[in-house]
Structure 1
Amino acid sequence: MILLDMTVVNVALPRIQDGLGFSTPGLAWVVNGYVLAAGGLLMLGGRLADFFGRRRLLLIGVTVFALASVISGAATAPWMMVVGRFGQGAAEALAAPASLGLIALLFTDPKERTKALGVWGGIMGLGATLGSVISGVLTDLASWRWIFFINLPVALVVLFLVPRLVTESRMVRAKDTSLDVLGAATLTLGLVGVVYGLLHAADHPWGSAGVLVPLIAGAVLLLVMVAVELRGKNPLIPLGFFANRTRSVVNFTTLFYMSAFISYTFMLTLYEQQVLDYSPLLSGLGWLPLSVAIGAGMALGTAMIPRAGIRAVVSAGYIGAGMGLFLTSTVGVDSSYWGGIVPGMVVFGLFAGAAMPAATNAALHGVTVQDSSLASGVQSTMQQVGSALGVSVLAALAFRHAGEAVADGAAAPVAATEGYALGFRIGGALMVLGGVLLLALVERVGTELRDPTAERLAAG
């Protein structure tokens, strides 16, 4: 439910824009309000789960998510929608690290743990694409408001089942251990400032105050966060956490992966509805091949990890997904669905899905009972920050390129298509770059990725 709602708004964005009066740059906040709150608070959420209990934080997060969904579904003005989306993102920051932390600890057998984490990674991708399918069906047959209201019965089922099926789990901590609230605050505000500045760059010059002031303020706050972490007695994320090269490189390249993935779904949806004139229902159903391809890729990637190792699987997945985006960038104003959209979608989905299980396993390389939710929070933070940067930077560049083309006399559909194609090519380049970095910097880890972890978990 939580992962699905990161993208469920994509197909409904044009209807939300018309219904609530969003500007085009402001519309991106319907996506970024969610990913910014989640990205800024996920590490704190992970630490809260380690401190106070992972099951408890999961239940609290689901409850908050349901309430925020009601606010978004009942929105009558842009600010109300953005508030609801920020609330949903904050709820993910509580629930997602707790959930993934529980999975990492419940499966102590190496093979079973690899499968469980592979399923988690696959669900992330399927949620991102099924969100568009569900959004299209509900938006066209009922109302865009139901993409939020449908979360309520799902949340009730979760709140009923989790206490009955999952035992509590928390870290063993000293009496003087405290939470780094200042670090979380500076991280969140810094990310908001940076992305706000990038959003303004879509329709303002890069040297304008509306772009530079928030960018500089955000960068300063992020530097303050680093200083706080260096001096803090109980930092939000101990810098020693990044001493593991495999974990660090995978978390860093996750920024590239999610920037390309989310901007792809965001821009292709707009292309289909604004250039090809697809209905929300048709646009939503059009994502089914991507869901199937991701599912197939997930199964393939999970099966290949024991044979080829983490590095080979995740690197090949990134590079292959980049090729899929380059193929998608060849679309034109009169492209057909099967000839212009589906080939790139299938290639992208198959390879992106194959990379997910390997990347999730690598991101939790060497975690123990003391820091499983923290490690999960770091990985989820990279996913959300990458999502925010993808929409802010790639979509902004696409909008700017289209605006310049219109100013030069190009027809609006042609200009929009050229802008989206540019965004796809940049996303493809980021994916390939991520694959090359993984191939060059990640250690050769296969079973050795899992065995020490399993021993530590069993001992813990």
Structure 2
Amino acid sequence: MILLDMTVVNVALPRIQETLGFTPSGLTWVVNGYVLMAGGLLLLGGRLGDVFGRRRLLLIGIVLFAVSSGVCGAAVAPAMMVAGRFGQGVAEAVAAPASLGMIALLFTDPKERNKALGLWGGLVALGGTLGYIVGGVLTDLASWRWIFYINVPVAVLVLAVLPRLVAESRMVREQDFGLDVTGAIASTGGLFALVFGLLSAADHPWGSVQVVLSLVAGIGLLGSTVLIEHRVRNPLIPLAFFANRTRSVVNGTSLFFMSAFISYTFMLTLFEQNVLGYSPLRSGLAWLPLGFAIGIGIGIGTAATPRFGVKAVAATGFIGAGAGLLLTSGIDTATSYPSGILPGMIVFGMFAGATMPAATNAALHGVTAQNSGLASGVQNTMQQIGSALGLAVLVTVAVRYTDHQLRLGVPAEAAVTTGYALAFRIGATLMVIGGLLIVMLFERVDPTMRNPVAETVAETR
């Protein structure tokens, strides 16, 4: 349900913009309002799960998600919509690390754990794919508001079933553990200010007070986060956690991966509806091959990782996904779906899917039961931060390039399309850079290695 809502809104964005009166750069807050809160608070959410129980946090997150979905569905102004999306982001920050952390504890056999992580990644892909289809169907046949209202009965069902199926798990000595709320506030505030400044640059000069102050405030708050984490007794992000080179690299390259991925889905949806004239339903169905391609890629990645290693699979996936984005960057106003969109989508989806099991395995490399929530929280945080920053940067680049083309006398639809194409090329470059960093910096990771998390399950329980 949570991952579905990351994509279900994309197909409805043009209708939401029209109904509530969003500006082009303001529309990005429908996505960024979600990912900023999720990314900024995921680490705190992971630690809350370690201390107070992962099942409890998962249930709390589901309740909050249902309430926030109702706010989004009832929105009558941009501010109300963004507020609801902020609430949904907080809900993911609470629930997502709890779900992934429980997988690390429940599956004790390394091979079974690898399969479970692959299945978890597959459900992510399935939720993302269904989001496009559900969003298109509901927006076309009913109203975009139902893409949010539909979460409420799903949440009620999960709340009824989950306590019967999953036991509670938490750290052994919660009385010795403190929560770094200050660090969470500083990091979230820094990300918010940084993204706000980048998006403001789409409508204002880079040297304007609004842009400069926001960027300076963001950088300052993020810098203070490092100092806070260095000094507090129980830091939200223990700096020693990044001593493991493989975990550090995979989390860093997640910024590139999600920057390209989210920007691709956001802008290609707008291109299909605003330039090619697709209906929401047609646009939603057009994303169906991406879900199949990602599912196939996950299967290939899960099978290939034990044989070829995490480094080879992850690096190949990044570079191949970059090639898919490069294919997509050839779009123009006369692009047809079979020849201009579908080939790049399939290539991108298969290679992106192949990276998911390997990247998740690397992100949990060498963690203990005590830090399983932290490890999953860091991975999800990097993905959400990458989504927010990537969307802010690439949308700003696309808008500015479009304005430049308009000043040269290029027709509006052609100018908008060139902006999207430039963003896709930048996304492709980020993917290739990520793959090269993995090749150069990854340690050797054995996917069937001894699992320190599983070995301490009995003690934890």
The TM tier, using the shorter chain, reads over 0.9
Following the alignment from structure 2 to structure 1, what is the Cα–Cα distance between the partners of residues 83 and 45?
19
SS in 2 for 1:195: helix
Report the TM-score, using the length of structure 2 for normalisation.
0.98
8 Å contact kept, 2:250–2:438: yes
Report how far residue 291 of structure 1 moved: 0.5
Partner of residue 90, structure 1: 90
SS in 2 for 1:233: coil
SS in 1 for 2:172: coil
Partner of residue 117, structure 2: 117
Report how far residue 248 of structure 1 moved: 0.8
SS in 1 for 2:8: coil
After superposition, residues 25-64 of structure 1 pair within 5 angstroms as 25-64=25-64
8 Å contact kept, 2:51–2:177: no
Summarize deviations over 1:325-358 as a string: whole Å, max 9, x none: 0000011110100010000000000000010111
Following the alignment from structure 1 to structure 2, what is the Cα–Cα distance between the partners of residues 203 and 130?
34
Summarize deviations over 1:92-130 as a string: whole Å, max 9, x none: 000000010001110010001011111112222332332
Partner of residue 138, structure 1: 138
Count of aligned positions: 460
8 Å contact kept, 2:369–2:452: no
Summarize deviations over 1:408-431 as a string: whole Å, max 9, x none: 100011101100000000000000
Distance verdict in 2 for CA 1:236–1:248, change over 3 Å: same
Summarize deviations over 1:367-387 as a string: whole Å, max 9, x none: 222111111111110111111
After superposition, residues 73-88 of structure 1 pair within 5 angstroms as 73-88=73-88
Percent identical: 67
Following the alignment from structure 2 to structure 1, what is the Cα–Cα distance between the partners of residues 447 and 334?
49
Q: RMSD across aligned C-alpha pairs, in angstroms?
A: 1.2
8 Å contact kept, 1:317–1:353: yes
Distance verdict in 2 for CA 1:135–1:70, change over 3 Å: same
Report how far residue 4 of structure 1 moved: 1.3
Q: Aligned partner of 2:443: which letter?
A: E
8 Å contact kept, 1:271–1:417: yes
Partner of residue 397, structure 1: 397
Partner of residue 99, structure 2: 99
SS in 1 for 2:369: coil
Report how far residue 240 of structure 1 moved: 1.0
Partner of residue 254, structure 1: 254
Distance verdict in 2 for CA 1:449–1:330, change over 3 Å: farther
Report how far residue 458 of structure 1 moved: 6.0
After superposition, residues 118-197 of structure 1 pair within 5 angstroms as 118-173=118-173, 175-197=175-197
Report the TM-score, using the length of structure 1 for normalisation.
0.98
Report how far residue 220 of structure 1 moved: 0.4
Report how far residue 455 of structure 1 moved: 3.5
Following the alignment from structure 1 to structure 2, what is the Cα–Cα distance between the partners of residues 125 and 241?
28
SS in 2 for 1:370: helix
Following the alignment from structure 1 to structure 2, what is the Cα–Cα distance between the partners of residues 324 and 459?
46
Following the alignment from structure 1 to structure 2, what is the Cα–Cα distance between the partners of residues 131 and 145?
14
Following the alignment from structure 1 to structure 2, what is the Cα–Cα distance between the partners of residues 376 and 38?
13
After superposition, residues 361-380 of structure 1 pair within 5 angstroms as 361-380=361-380
Following the alignment from structure 1 to structure 2, what is the Cα–Cα distance between the partners of residues 375 and 393?
27
Once structures 1 and 2 are overlaid, which stretch shifts more, 299-308 or 167-176?
167-176
Following the alignment from structure 2 to structure 1, what is the Cα–Cα distance between the partners of residues 372 and 78?
37
SS in 2 for 1:11: helix
Is 2:434 the counterpart of 1:438?
Answer: no
Partner of residue 221, structure 2: 221
SS in 1 for 2:187: helix
Distance verdict in 2 for CA 1:389–1:126, change over 3 Å: farther
Partner of residue 333, structure 1: 333
8 Å contact kept, 1:368–1:457: no
Following the alignment from structure 2 to structure 1, what is the Cα–Cα distance between the partners of residues 187 and 98?
20
Is 2:11 the counterpart of 1:20?
Answer: no
Q: Aligned partner of 2:314: which letter?
A: V
Q: Aligned partner of 2:440: which letter?
A: A
Distance verdict in 2 for CA 1:60–1:174, change over 3 Å: closer
Is 2:345 the counterpart of 1:345?
Answer: yes
Report how far residue 45 of structure 1 moved: 0.4
Partner of residue 8, structure 1: 8
Following the alignment from structure 1 to structure 2, what is the Cα–Cα distance between the partners of residues 444 and 330?
37
Report how far residue 454 of structure 1 moved: 4.0
Following the alignment from structure 2 to structure 1, what is the Cα–Cα distance between the partners of residues 447 and 356?
17
Following the alignment from structure 2 to structure 1, what is the Cα–Cα distance between the partners of residues 175 and 158?
32
Q: Aligned partner of 2:327: which letter?
A: L
Partner of residue 323, structure 2: 323
Following the alignment from structure 1 to structure 2, what is the Cα–Cα distance between the partners of residues 175 and 413?
60
Following the alignment from structure 1 to structure 2, what is the Cα–Cα distance between the partners of residues 230 and 358?
30
SS in 1 for 2:9: coil
8 Å contact kept, 2:7–2:128: yes
Following the alignment from structure 2 to structure 1, what is the Cα–Cα distance between the partners of residues 176 and 355?
40
Following the alignment from structure 2 to structure 1, what is the Cα–Cα distance between the partners of residues 162 and 436?
40
8 Å contact kept, 2:51–2:174: no
Summarize deviations over 1:51-75 as a string: whole Å, max 9, x none: 0000000000000000000000000
Partner of residue 428, structure 1: 428
Summarize deviations over 1:130-163 as a string: whole Å, max 9, x none: 2122111110011000000010111111101110
Following the alignment from structure 1 to structure 2, what is the Cα–Cα distance between the partners of residues 291 and 176?
44
Unaligned runs of 5+ in 2: none
Report how far residue 190 of structure 1 moved: 0.4
Q: Aligned partner of 2:306: which letter?
A: P
Following the alignment from structure 1 to structure 2, what is the Cα–Cα distance between the partners of residues 94 and 450?
29
8 Å contact kept, 2:114–2:447: no
Following the alignment from structure 1 to structure 2, what is the Cα–Cα distance between the partners of residues 146 and 321?
33
8 Å contact kept, 1:365–1:453: no
8 Å contact kept, 1:7–1:31: no
8 Å contact kept, 1:254–1:382: yes
Following the alignment from structure 2 to structure 1, what is the Cα–Cα distance between the partners of residues 271 and 71?
29
Partner of residue 301, structure 1: 301
After superposition, residues 230-269 of structure 1 pair within 5 angstroms as 230-269=230-269
8 Å contact kept, 1:365–1:450: no
8 Å contact kept, 1:5–1:131: yes
Distance verdict in 2 for CA 1:416–1:426, change over 3 Å: same
Following the alignment from structure 2 to structure 1, what is the Cα–Cα distance between the partners of residues 181 and 105?
26
Report how far residue 261 of structure 1 moved: 0.4
SS in 1 for 2:95: helix
Q: Aligned partner of 1:446: which letter?
A: D
Report how far residue 176 of structure 1 moved: 3.9
SS in 2 for 1:76: coil
8 Å contact kept, 1:364–1:376: yes
